[in-house]
Each structure stands twice: as C-alpha cells, then as structure tokens.
Amino acid sequence: AALPALVLGAGLLAAAWRWLRGAVLPVRGGSMRGKTVIITGANSGLGRAAAAELLRMRARVIMGCRDRARAERAAREIRAEVGEREDGAGELVVRELDLASLRSVRAFCHRVLQEESRLDVLINNAGIFQCPYMKTEDGFEMQFGVNHLGHFLLTNLLLGLLKNSAPSRIVVVSSKLYKYGEINFEDLNSEISYNKSFCYSRSKLANILFARELARRLEGTGVTVNSLHPGIVRTNLGRHVNIPLLAKPLFNLVSWAFFKTPLEGAQTSIYLASSPDVEGVSGKYFGDCKEEELLPKAMDDLVARKLWDISEVMVGLLK
C-alpha cells in the first residue's frame, strides 16, 4: 500500500510543479531560408526537435543518422508535423552517418562535399550515455569515440565548406556532467580502468575543450564555435541506465515532472544555430540560451591543445 500512495503523492506534486513551471516557449530566431544545417543524431530526442524547428524556420536540414530506416521514418513524421511549404523553402535530407566508424564519417563528409555548395550550421548533437564497456569499429572506447572523436573528425573534414560559407556556426552539445570528468592522457581509451559515468563526463569535457580550441583556431574566419548544456531531458539517451522494475513508475513520474521535453532541451541548440543575438560570438558555453561560466579545467588551453593534437593522430588526420 505504501508504494501506490508514494507514487500518487509524487504524481500530485509533479503535476503541481509542471503547472507552476509552465511551458518553455520555442526560440524564434530569424529565417533560416537558404541556409543548410547538418544535425548529427537527428532522428530522435534533441536532434529531432532541433531538426523540426529549423525546418519550420525554412532551413535545409541534413539529418546525419546511424539508422537510416529510423531516420527516414522520423523525417516523414517531421514533415507531417511541420507541413510542406508551397514556396519550396525548407527541406529535410537523410544521410547515413555512424560516428562509431571513422570510415562512415569520411564517407558522409565526402558525399556532403560533393553534393552541397554551402554549409551554414553544423550541430554536433549525437551521443551515447553510460554504456557498458565496448569499442568502436576503430578500437576506441565507445563514449569517447562517438561523443568526441567521431565529431572531431566530422568537423575537421567539413571545415573548408564551413569557411567558404561564412558567416557560419558550429554548435557542440555537451553536458554539465563535464564537471565530473578528467582528461587522463595516460588512458584516453579506458584500457587501464573503465567507469561508465566518469567516461561519459570525460567525453563531455572533451567536447568543451574541443570547441574552445577550435574557436581559437578559427578566429577571423567568420566561423563561430560554441558549446552548450541542454539540461536534463527525457530522451532515449539513458537506454543503458538500469532502473529497478519497481522503481520505474516513480522514475517515469519524476522525469515527466522535472525533466525537460526534447523541444525544451533543444532550445539552446536552436538559439546558437539561428539567433542573431549570438552572431560573431565564439568560444563560449551556454545553458538555457544564456552564457554560463565554466570550471577552470574546461578552460585549460594547454590541455585543449594537447587533446587536439592527440585526437588528430587518433582519427588519422596526422600520422
């Protein structure tokens, strides 16, 4: 009897909290007509929400997704939600991209460079969260390989097109959990020890350091780079997290009440991709569409440069 009462009580509190909090209104930036945007992991969660909103703003959105069938299904659903434009503005394009495979990343970029005349925004959104120890196709620890190295190679291979399309923007989705990560250069691949939580945090810290170093390298090019924390969002990112069966009803209730929806969580990505307010702003970290302070370890330029140099070798940009 205690558990149903607990769930009911939590439900009432949750409903009250959601009512008091109110709805988060979507960002309404300027028109994105004539602009091309790439979003990784755009078939679900934050990426899907961002794709739908940018399509509403009339962008040409390229969905870079590992599972083509799921991506095509998501694209159909988004088109149905947003509606077709009579003037032809706004378009969704699905392209296969597996960030756990450097071969796939190179093939994706090769096709983009062949087919696209411009690239105005790159949103590095896809990620994997607290998975059991496993390796990518190229032998990298999965979280570091997908969340950092896959996006590192992707961004570098598309830099020429971004520069030619300037002013253009790069948006890097990180997480406040970076605070619990450390860049251990002696064990970047987690072969000595592996903790799925710490390794996720490490990959998110790497995202911020990468964005910071890239912003420094791109000064004066017209290409801006910013990273962000989307908040705690109800997505399938936590599919590797085991929740006891009896606790699931309570967890689902709490997540419904206190976690952001994908659309709410995507607002900062959309803001950084489209808003004139951040035109020319680079090398910063945002949350809830506002600039936030970083811990000193996320602003360590020596570590950022060393991580860049090692990453170049790991992904094969340098021998």
Active site residues: 200
3-state DSSP call for residue 242? Answer: coil
Angle at 166 between CA 160 and CA 169, to 5 degrees: 90
The closest alpha carbon to 78, from 39, 51, 57, belongs to: 51
Cα-based distances in Å from 216 to 122, 223, 235: 17, 11, 32
The set of residues, in sequence order, having a beta carbon less than 8 Å from that of 84 and lying 6+ positions away, is none
The closest alpha carbon to 235, from 262, 255, 253, belongs to: 262
Cα-based distances in Å from 241 to 182, 194, 199, 244: 22, 16, 14, 10
Beta strand pairing call for 290-291 and 285-287:
antiparallel
Taking the C-alpha atoms of residue 16 and residue 103, their distance in angstroms, rounded to an integer, is 49
* Total residues belonging to the chain: 319
| Pair of tokens at residue 199 | 């390794």
Taking the C-alpha atoms of residue 183 and residue 298, their distance in angstroms, rounded to an integer, is 10
Cβ contact 40:171 at 8 Å? no
> What per-residue string of b and e applies to 178-197 under the rule 16 or more CB within 10 Å gives b?
beebebeeeebebeeeeebe
3-state DSSP call for residue 124? Answer: strand
Name beta bridge partners: 38: 62, 122
